[in-house]
Structure 1
Amino acid sequence: MLVALAAIAPAHAGEIEISEAWIRNIPGGAPSAGYFRLRNGTDGAVRLVAAESPAYGRIGLHRTTDSGMAHVERVNVPAGGQVAFAPGGYHLMLMEQRKPVEIDDRIPIRLRFADGKERTARFIVRPPYAQGPE
């Protein structure tokens, strides 16, 4: 139980918080998706511009809309606001898996912001049918 709670606990670094971090793992090395909640406790807007992980060769910022899925260059988070990366909306597209990952693994992913700041969180790996980190 404590291990599961640690996987979804917020990762604090300064005033930007990453919580509820999880990966919907798609078998066979197909691209998977990463989800989380990004809270901006600063007094200015922040822009998420990239992500990287030793477990994946490429990670893209994507958004699903009624007209399909598209790559986005940045995700703006207003001062004092938050953005949910969730199924059917913003997500990380995890491509070129470097080694097999297993359910319940914790994968480090570093988020990079336009101002040069970085934050890292461990994303818990969930099965393809999962709807959240638990």
Structure 2
Amino acid sequence: MIAPRRGEALYVAGGVAVLGLGLWMWALGRGPAASDAGARPRLRVTGAYAVRVSASTEVSAYLTARNTGGGADRLIAVRTDLSPIVMMHRGLENAMVAVDSVPLPARRTVSLTPSGLHVMIMQPRRAVRVGERVRLTLLFSRSDPISVGAPVLAPGDRPPDG
């Protein structure tokens, strides 16, 4: 029988150690914590509506986003054919502060409202009329885009249920 040389034995031992470490990490990755990390969001958007901001041409938009899935997501942008400039804001007392994204935690509902988080459509290409529908496409960090039609309401009108 031929004995392996010292370098070959170390090479084989190192390979076995790497394989063992890989199998151990794979086993850890199949536990409960990993299944939560791999859980997917499941989003639904309802109650969308828009309002022309009084004394300006800007349009604000509001909606409710429900995440019934086991994983979190983020609303990262909103697009519309009405304007290339669409921003997400948070209302703070008498000011608006732009936000980069809106967290959508697992199994939670997030509402964009006139007094909180909301969407601002800046410098629309045309004036909007009460009763028309504005198409909003919501972009997320993990989920596919969702498009909704938001009816334009007059300031003070009751928003749709949702």
The separation in 2 between residues aligned to 1:38 and 1:113, in whole angstroms, is 11
1:57 aligns with 2:79: no
CA 1:15 to 1:132, structure 2 compared with 1: closer, same or farther past 3 Å?
A: same
The one-letter code of the counterpart of 2:142 is: D
User: Relative to structure 2, which stretch is displaced further, 122-131 or 41-50?
Assistant: 122-131
The separation in 2 between residues aligned to 1:67 and 1:99, in whole angstroms, is 27
1:114 aligns with 2:141: yes
Of 72, 75, 89 in structure 2, the residue corresponding to residue 45 of structure 1 is 72
Contact 1:51 1:112 in 2 (8 A): yes
The separation in 1 between residues aligned to 2:79 and 2:98, in whole angstroms, is 15
Structure 1 unaligned spans of 5+: 1-13
Larger Rg: 1 or 2? 2
The separation in 2 between residues aligned to 1:46 and 1:107, in whole angstroms, is 24
1:116 to partner: Cα distance = 5.8
Of 150, 153, 156 in structure 2, the residue corresponding to residue 123 of structure 1 is 150
1:83 aligns with 2:110: yes
TM-score in terms of structure 1 length: 0.81
1:68 to partner: Cα distance = 2.1
Instruction: Name the Cα RMSD after superposition.
Output: 1.9
The one-letter code of the counterpart of 2:85 is: R
1:107 to partner: Cα distance = 1.0
Structure 2 unaligned spans of 5+: 1-40
How many residues align? The count is 121
1:15 to partner: Cα distance = 2.7
User: Relative to structure 2, which stretch is displaced further, 51-60 or 14-23?
Assistant: 14-23
User: Relative to structure 2, which stretch is displaced further, 105-114 or 29-38?
Assistant: 29-38
Partner of 1:99: 126
